[in-house]
Amino acid sequence: MSYTAEIISVGTELLLGNITNTDARDVSAMLSELGINVFFQTVVGDNPRRLKNAVNIARSRADIIITTGGLGPTYDDLTKQVIAELFGKKLVYNESEGDRIKKYFRERLKTDDMPENNLLQAMLPEGCTVFCNDMGTAPGCAFEAGGKHVLMLPGPPRECVSMFRKCAMPYLSRLSDGELHSHIIHIVGMTESAVEEKLTDIMQSLENPTLAPYAKEGEVTLRVTAKAGSADEAERMMLPVIENVRSVLGDVIYGVDKENLESAVLELLAEKGKTLSTAESCTGGFIAKRLTDVAGASRGYLGGVVTYSNESKTKLIGVDGDLIAEKGAVSCEVAVEMAKGVRDRLKTDIGISVTGVAGPDSDEKGTEVGTVYIALADESSVYCKEFHLGGERTRIRTHASARALDMVRRYLSGLDVI
């Protein structure tokens, strides 16, 4: 049978617009992986009467009710009390959760002064399945009553998502016997619609495993999900799908189950024992920022320059001023000199450079907005590629930085660079 779920997010701060309901989005996406339909999401404040109203409506139209939020220790955290009352469950003190909360205060928050009301968080519906919280104090839980499954998760996004993956997914996948496993395929250098067009037949023909795209700024990701009797079986089912996608898309796939493109590039640098430097004009430090977002980036990324003016290209990395005057700052020739210049100054194995027009205005030569040159220099060679990127300033900068990182990836992987 196919189950339907409703998500009820509890918190007045959501109704005031102070925070974004990422929990509903993330839980929905994970339910979708499980093949469980979500027909409604509801947001309600920290008010027992209105929360009852929302739960009663959800009970009338869904098989599974999932709440996020309202499990904290303060007087306005009411989710467990309201749900327990509506489903005729007593709240009982769970000793091992109580001990875990005390330990959390002692060890992680380094205090013996735990406010007593924190132990209210260890009060759970009798006979429930306890969901342990690795990242905070409030445990979650699940129970079945009156033919409905009720799951309660904490509100803080990290806690909610981590608990859903670790505890709620196994609980829910048991409902439909079989366990779910998935892999993420990462793609760069192709638009989401181009990816979908190439894969539409595969996606539509698949039922288990499933294959679904997720757009990400400047990249595309595909999630392969299999339901099987065991992890090994799921792996055996997913492998041919991944191979099939690889054979269709080829080397625009930069990895499976990677953190992101910048991490993948840093991993490749470490693997090949190479170092990188950057010279950025229109991306203005965006590539450097992305690389240094990753802890430990300094092992492969040594630094770079942001040459946002013509003079800075000359002063920092010795690009010939006459060349800039003749060819324009936005040209393959200048991109090449930038990549060579920064590589030479920083004595790295590879130098990568970007120069282009991010908009909203064209440059003084009337170069079209979105024109971007990316160059890569190594000890003996230099490559340069021209791009015409669509959209506004932010999109152009994001895509230009992704394309530059991709050029480094292709170079280090021994693929065609341009």
Site for its own copies in 310-349 (CB under 8 A): 311-312, 315-316, 345-347
40 or 87: whose CB is closer to its own copies?
A: 40
47 or 413: whose CB is closer to its own copies?
A: 47
Question: Which residues are CB-contacts of 33 (< 8 A; sequence separation ≥ 6)?
Answer: 180, 182, 210, 212, 223, 225
Site for its own copies in 241-280 (CB under 8 A): 277-278, 280
215 or 418: whose CB is closer to its own copies?
A: 215
To its own copies, the closest distance from the beta carbon of 367 in angstroms equals 15
Helices (H), ranges, 328-392: 332-346
Structure tokens at 176: 């439909």
178 or 285: whose CB is closer to its own copies?
A: 285
**Given 10, 34, 35, 43, the residue binding its own copies (CB under 8 A):** 43
**Given 10, 34, 42, 218, the residue binding its own copies (CB under 8 A):** 42
Question: Which residues are CB-contacts of 127 (< 8 A; sequence separation ≥ 6)?
Answer: 89, 143
CB 214 within 8 A of CB 222: yes
Which candidate, 341, 272, 271, 291, places its Cα nearest to that of 312? Answer: 341
Question: Which residues are CB-contacts of 365 (< 8 A; sequence separation ≥ 6)?
Answer: 328, 330
To its own copies, the closest distance from the beta carbon of 194 in angstroms equals 18
To its own copies, the closest distance from the beta carbon of 191 in angstroms equals 16
From residue 372 to residue 401, what is the string marking binding to its own copies with x (rule CB under 8 A)?
Answer: ---------------------xx--x----
**Given 143, 164, 254, 286, the residue binding its own copies (CB under 8 A):** 286
Question: How many angstroms separate the CA atoms of 135 and 168, rounded?
Answer: 15
Return the H-helix or E-strand segment holding 181: strand 179-187
Near its own copies by CB under 8 A, which window of 69-77, 140-148, 300-308, 383-391? 300-308
Q: Which residues pair with 84 in a beta bridge?
A: none
Residue with the two structure tokens 């450079």: 353
Structure tokens at 204: 């539509």
Site for its own copies in 53-82 (CB under 8 A): 53-54, 57, 61
Question: Which residues are CB-contacts of 181 (< 8 A; sequence separation ≥ 6)?
Answer: 225, 226, 228, 231, 234, 235, 238
Which candidate, 54, 61, 229, 83, places its Cα nearest to that of 144? Answer: 83
Site for its own copies in 169-228 (CB under 8 A): 214-215
Residues that bind its own copies (rule: CB under 8 A) add up to a total of 74
Which candidate, 60, 55, 46, places its Cα nearest to that of 88? Answer: 55
239 or 302: whose CB is closer to its own copies?
A: 302
**Given 303, 327, 378, 386, the residue binding its own copies (CB under 8 A):** 303
Where does residue 238 rank: exposed (0-12), middle (13-18), buried (19+ CB within 10 A)? buried
96 or 200: whose CB is closer to its own copies?
A: 200
39 or 93: whose CB is closer to its own copies?
A: 39
Question: How many angstroms separate the CA atoms of 416 and 418, rounded?
Answer: 6
To its own copies, the closest distance from the beta carbon of 108 in angstroms equals 13
Q: Does 111 bind its own copies (CB under 8 A)?
A: no
To its own copies, the closest distance from the beta carbon of 361 in angstroms equals 7
To its own copies, the closest distance from the beta carbon of 135 in angstroms equals 12
26 or 267: whose CB is closer to its own copies?
A: 26
To its own copies, the closest distance from the beta carbon of 278 in angstroms equals 7
